[in-house]
Structure 1
Amino acid sequence: MKTIPFFLALIWLLMVTCGKKNVPQEPQPTGTGPSANPVQYRNPVFEPILADPSIIKGTDGWYYGYGTEDDWGDGKGNRLVPVVRSLDLVRWSLVGNAFTAKPVWKAEGGLWAVDVVRVNNLYHMYYSFSLWADRNPAIGLAVANSPAGPFVDKGKLFFSEEIGVPVSIDPHYYEENGKKYLFFGSYSSQTVQGTYAVELTADGYAVKDINQKTNIAAGDFEAVMIHKRGNYYYFFGSKGSCCDGAASTYNVRVARSENLLGPYLDQAGKNIVQRGNGTLILQGNSKFAGPGHNAKIITDKNGTDWLFYHAIDKMNPKVSSGASRRMLMLDKLSWVEGWPVIANGVPSGDIQAGPEL
């Protein structure tokens, strides 16, 4: 049998080792994975804060969750989009922050209400860049090779004044038939208001035509999420106050359409481009205030749908920094006669059987 000379073997080993150091590796699943039986849980599934959640399954087998920039009151200052992960959608652990530094293309503002999606083999994070009562908030994009980050900022897609929609925040990405769309918008009392949709370029890095936008919903909605089921597109949006501690009135309402860009009608047949419409499916109760800003629906192996959202414990509504404790919540989403339903229309507080993955 032929043998490799020692010095050649050593060179080969060094080349392989050095090569591995230059290849970014995604974290691998560790610990106890999902079992045949669903894991039981009780809301919240993560605290103190994971506001305006976005949830995605990475190619590494983990589910990742992302939240709005907040000061958790633990002495570590504002977390630049906190990242958590889970194998079973019930037990979540903190990974870190999505950003190592705040983007500099806007002078002031927080990183809010992100939507993380996999586009062209990269993880895209569409994010809001805004202050409270900001006259010209914006939406930006950052990308990463791994869902754990760090995300590298690619700059702005648009400012509110550029696209002509007041309070342009809460981005939501949707792709269909080779076309990429961004839904966005938030509460506004101005004439040009509400939720809109624009088409993106093929790489998802920019708006295809900033002058071509479609009004989807009125200005009493925000936090849009579109879900396709059967022949219908379902619009999920939040109304009310998101961040007033125990006094928060956030709630989730839905409408549906046979076309992605609408019109979206509620269960009473009313178009949600008019204020006051939308079918209520989730509101607060005696324990939890302000349930809303839901993530994309996750479907388990049995075909059961699950909805992540945030809500506030009325008995412990704020952290020491003054931020509302908008905790990560999970509930089963059923479908009755073609419409989504959450049991009793309020967040669950008892022990529940979790998703079967």
Structure 2
Amino acid sequence: MKRLRLAAVVAAALLALLPTTATADVSYPDPQPITGQQIIHDPTVIRLRSGDYVAYSTGGVIGARTSKDRVHWDDAGNAFAEPPSWWYEYNDTGDPWAPDISYRAGTYWLYYAVSSWGTNHSAIGVATSPTGLPGTWTDRGKVFTSERTDTWNAIDPALIRADGRLWMSFGSYWTGIRMVELDERTGKAVPGATVHHLATRPDAPYAVEGPYIVKHGRHYYLFASYDACCSGVNSTYKIRVARSTKVTGPYVDSTGKPMLEGGGDLLLAGHGRYVGTGGQSVFNDRGQDWLAYHYYDAEDQGTPKLGLNRLSWEKSGWPNVR
């Protein structure tokens, strides 16, 4: 019996020495209950200055949802009445993907991607609005592009301010996640900007995409979607995270493994009816960080729906979902 007790003490001591990881509970939390229009893909959410909420997403001409309480969501049509003509350079239907909304200098900025499935002939564009509401956006054209000769893919944009400068992370497959500096005035890539490399996977097809970076404490945290989306209940999307003291990296997980070598702590994965969690973004609502993402509902024929969870921060500095 003494030996058993000793073994238990030793095991507990060894467990205490293991690194603190940025993982959710082993069972993973369900998204908060929401009502109304739940269908969404690649959501970006913001609390407007009016106090209401708006979410934009892949689908339609950048599909829009609005809410007054972050619980009940209404279909609000699309950001645009029709696709800007230049979108058709990148696909036959003028179909935009993966928007990102932000607010600065009295203006709302909506970034988005246009591309064709399976190619890196892609472009990131931007629009501005005084209110952030659908139907009020003015398109400002291309921000950054990629071609078949490039080793990156200009989709899935996400903005962050760091050290008084404006940065945009982006990327999908084609060696993973990249970053460029933007001009504060135009919101477009600085001419000749260095393309920084933030994350990749060891093997083709380098399945990491959908970056989103936030600052907490002295670190920048890079959230990204790993594996495969867009296959309904067969999707394998999951959200991983790593951090850096510099916005341009290097980003490492809690074990010290760089994201450029396939690292990243598992934050949220599919569970139960909530399959393929990913396409994430982070927004702040009155001091509380929230993780927004889509999942494929296994109890509703794999329909993509909005997931919202509180994002908390451990004493170690790593994020957790509640």
**TM-score above 0.5:** yes
Q: Distance in 2 between matches of 1:176 and 1:46?
A: 36
Number of residue-to-residue matches in the alignment: 281
What SS does the aligned partner of 2:259 have? Answer: coil
Deviates more, 1:252-261 or 1:288-297: 288-297
Q: Distance in 1 between matches of 2:177 and 2:53?
A: 28
Q: 1:92 aligns to what?
A: 73
* Structure number, greater radius of gyration: 1
- Contact 2:224 2:240 (C-alpha < 8 Å) held by counterparts: yes
Q: Unaligned regions of 5+ residues in structure 1, if any?
A: 1-40, 70-78, 319-324, 344-357
Q: 1:233 aligns to what?
A: 220
Kindly provide the amino acid, as one letter, of the partner of residue 214 in structure 2: H
The counterpart of 2:131, out of the listed 143, 146, 150, is 146
The counterpart of 2:109, out of the listed 124, 135, 147, is 124
Q: 2:86 aligns to what?
A: 105
Q: 1:327 aligns to what?
A: 305
Kindly provide the amino acid, as one letter, of the partner of residue 75 in structure 2: L
The counterpart of 2:41, out of the listed 51, 54, 58, is 51
Q: Unaligned regions of 5+ residues in structure 2, if any?
A: 1-30, 201-205
The residue correspondences of 1:247-258 to structure 2 (distance < 5 A) are 247-258=234-245
Indicate the percent of aligned positions where both proteins have the same amino acid.
Answer: 34
Q: Distance in 1 between matches of 2:256 and 2:148?
A: 33
Tell me which stretches of 4 or more aligned residues in structure 1 moved more than 6 Å.
Answer: none
Q: Distance in 1 between matches of 2:115 and 2:125?
A: 11
- Contact 1:266 1:272 (C-alpha < 8 Å) held by counterparts: yes
The residue correspondences of 1:1-357 to structure 2 (distance < 5 A) are 42-44=32-34, 47-69=37-59, 79-107=60-88, 108=91, 109-150=94-135, 151-161=137-147, 164-188=150-174, 193-218=175-200, 219-275=206-262, 277-300=263-286, 303-318=287-302, 325-336=303-314, 337-343=316-322
Looking at secondary structure, tell me which structure has more strand per residue.
2
TM-score using structure 1 length = 0.74
TM-score using structure 2 length = 0.81
Q: Distance in 1 between matches of 2:80 and 2:285?
A: 29
Deviation (angstroms), 1:214: 0.8
Deviation (angstroms), 1:278: 0.6
Deviates more, 1:143-152 or 1:225-234: 143-152
Q: Distance in 2 between matches of 1:261 and 1:162?
A: 24
Q: CA RMSD in A?
A: 2.0
